[in-house]
């Protein structure tokens, strides 16, 4: 496993890759699983909750995600009221797709590892029926909602060359680009 460099929108070469449509994966093999392991390690290191392969420069339709919503270990104590308990729950998606989307929408403040330190409200379908291959190559279909649905749609957008800021007005999108460029300059100067 290796931590890979995450492409960011302030770099024109990175942005050109991020705007490309990823190619379907023919089979989930050891090479794809190794890619997913690298992606998961990269995502945890960043830290983030989702990562598409294109974000590390690989144009295959592969996504990893961990919302920290795994089942609590047997015998674990309940978190105190107001405390958040995060239990790792890595998920792997190959050739993900949305089969159906609800008319009802859900607004969530999204962020992105390729758009560092910028967050904004994005409205998406509240529930979606999705299909994908898991890390064993088995086809899964499920209906999802909440943060899981938001994250799935966000990462699927990446595979289609769409960034979450593309859902914003031109003014807010330009503001995001300016903020990210400034953030990245400050990081380089530090």
The one catalytic residue in 74, 77, 110, 155 is 155
Q: What is the 3 state secondary structure string of 72-116?
A: CCCCCCCCCCCCCCCECCCEEEEEEEEEEECCCEEEEEEEECCEE
Cis peptide bond upstream of 47, omega within 30: yes
Taking phi over 0 as left and psi of -120 to 50 as alpha, with beta for the rest, 117 belongs to left
110 given a catalytic annotation: no
Using alpha carbons only, what angle is made at residue 48 by residues 63 and 60, rounded to the nearest 5 degrees?
20
Residue 137 burial (CB count, 10 A) = 13
Cβ partners under 8 Å of residue 157, min gap 6:
163, 164, 166
Taking phi over 0 as left and psi of -120 to 50 as alpha, with beta for the rest, 13 belongs to alpha
CA distance 79 to 83: 6
Q: Which residues are catalytic?
A: 155
């Amino acid at each position: 496993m290796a931590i890979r460099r995450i492409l960011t929108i302030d770099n024109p070469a990175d942005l050109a890759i991020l705007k490309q449509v990823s190619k379907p994966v023919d089979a989930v093999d050891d090479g794809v699983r190794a890619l997913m392991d690298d992606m998961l390690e990269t995502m945890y290191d960043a830290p983030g909750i989702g990562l598409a392969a294109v974000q590390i420069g690989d144009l295959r339709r592969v996504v990893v995600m961990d919302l920290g919503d795994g089942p609590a270990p047997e015998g674990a104590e309940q978190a105190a009221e107001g405390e958040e308990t995060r239990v790792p729950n890595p998920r792997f998606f190959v050739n993900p797709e949305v089969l159906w989307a609800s008319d009802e929408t859900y607004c969530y403040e999204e962020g992105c590892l390729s758009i560092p330190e910028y967050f904004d409200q994005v409205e998406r379908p509240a529930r979606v029926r999705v299909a994908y291959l898991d890390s064993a190559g088995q086809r899964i279909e499920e209906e999802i909602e909440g943060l899981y649905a938001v994250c799935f749609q966000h990462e699927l957008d990446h595979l289609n060359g769409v960034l979450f800021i593309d859902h914003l007005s031109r003014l807010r999108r330009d503001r995001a680009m300016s903020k990210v460029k400034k953030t990245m300059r400050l990081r380089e100067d530090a």
